[in-house]
Structure 1
């Protein structure tokens, strides 16, 4: 069994379901980061919070982490899927819940 840091557990406790409608102001400010479904949302939030540049840079480079683009925002508005979010100021990290992502959607 893996032991998690107290910060990981704190972030896990602050992770919550949210609707796209509630995230739109953060998108408009450019403060919304999309986390690919293959990643652990809380692990990514922890790396951002701890300024773990190696991990964050790797995810940014691979496209598994990045700012929400307009085409994705339009898709989320149209579909209104179940999302999870956690705040790591100044960012809000968001991820689509497993099983609700559109097939073939990689935007």
Structure 2
């Protein structure tokens, strides 16, 4: 394993440790500020955070264009609020990435 690969693995492990479940209601002020991005369930939340941190413009543009990563819509936010949803989240300043995972789904 090269030094770069080792550093990358350590960074991903750090991001994974920083990923936690949080009630959507606790993210309301960040949503109101436009700082919350939803990550599609089929994507790896930690991978998206890693690519965003690495400023991988190509990957981010593809995810944004496909809607796999997007600002949380008012409709989505209202649904999560009404359901008292618990979401997986990780901070990549200034953004908070959230992912609605099916019940029983493990975070990555």
Query: If the length of structure 2 is used for normalisation, what is the TM-score?
Result: 0.85
**1:13 aligns to 2:11 (yes or no):** no
Greater fraction helix: 2
Of the three residues 64, 72, 75, the one matched with 2:76 is: 72
Distance 1:5 1:31 in 2: 27
**1:46 aligns to 2:50 (yes or no):** yes
Of the three residues 14, 17, 23, the one matched with 2:27 is: 23
Runs of 4+ in 1 over 6 A off after TM superposition: none
**1:84 aligns to 2:88 (yes or no):** yes
Q: Give RMSD over aligned pairs.
A: 1.4
SS of alignment partner, residue 30 of structure 1? coil
In our comparison, the structure showing a higher alpha carbon Rg is 2
Gap runs ≥5 in structure 2: 1-5
SS of alignment partner, residue 6 of structure 1? helix
Count of residue pairs brought into register by the alignment: 98
Query: If the length of structure 1 is used for normalisation, what is the TM-score?
Result: 0.86
Gap runs ≥5 in structure 1: 101-107
**1:63 aligns to 2:62 (yes or no):** no
